[in-house]
Amino acid sequence: MSAFIRTAATAFSLLLVGSTLAAEISPQTVDGAVTVDTAAARALFDQQVAFIDVRKDSDFDAGRIPGAIHLELKHKFSDQSLSTEVKKDEPVVFYCNGESCMRSSDASKLAVSWGFSKVHYYRDGFPAWKSAGNPVE
């Protein structure tokens, strides 16, 4: 194999890997939602705002924000299940496993599309919450 072909193949492989990794980073913002950092999430927690954990069952079982409502995104999350927990005009916080997890951004987008008007997107999620020394269960 010529050096040119090896170089081209390597460059193409890096491009594919880079594209795949880039696709796994959650968006900074979600239209219609307020992106919150850990300090703002803690303030909402202290105000007893509902936190919705959209992670897989095994992640939820391994640890969560105290009192979080588990509505696993792929199997339990719907307009009806969310409406059972939170009124459309009440504040709500969505979180998952940090910036490499797309579930909280997807849930935030869906909630906005269903008419929830006070959506908070906690992009940094459970890892940041725990790292900050906030309570977990």
**CATH code (residue 33):** 3.40.250.10
Using CA atoms, how far apart are residues 70 and 91, in angstroms rounded to an integer? 16
Residue 106 lies in a domain: yes
Give the Å distances, CA to CA, from 59 to 15, 122, 129, 135. Answer: 31, 16, 14, 16
pLDDT for 7 = 40
Q: How many domains are contained in the chain?
A: 1
Residue 13 lies in a domain: no
Sign of CA dihedral 102, 103, 108, 111: positive
Host domain of residue 66: 26-131
Mean pLDDT across 108-118: 98
Whether 6 shows a pLDDT value over 50: the answer reads no
Residue 73 lies in a domain: yes
Residue 15 lies in a domain: no
Residue 92 lies in a domain: yes
Residue 18 lies in a domain: no
pLDDT for 4 = 43
- Across the chain, mean pLDDT equals 88
Residue 114 lies in a domain: yes
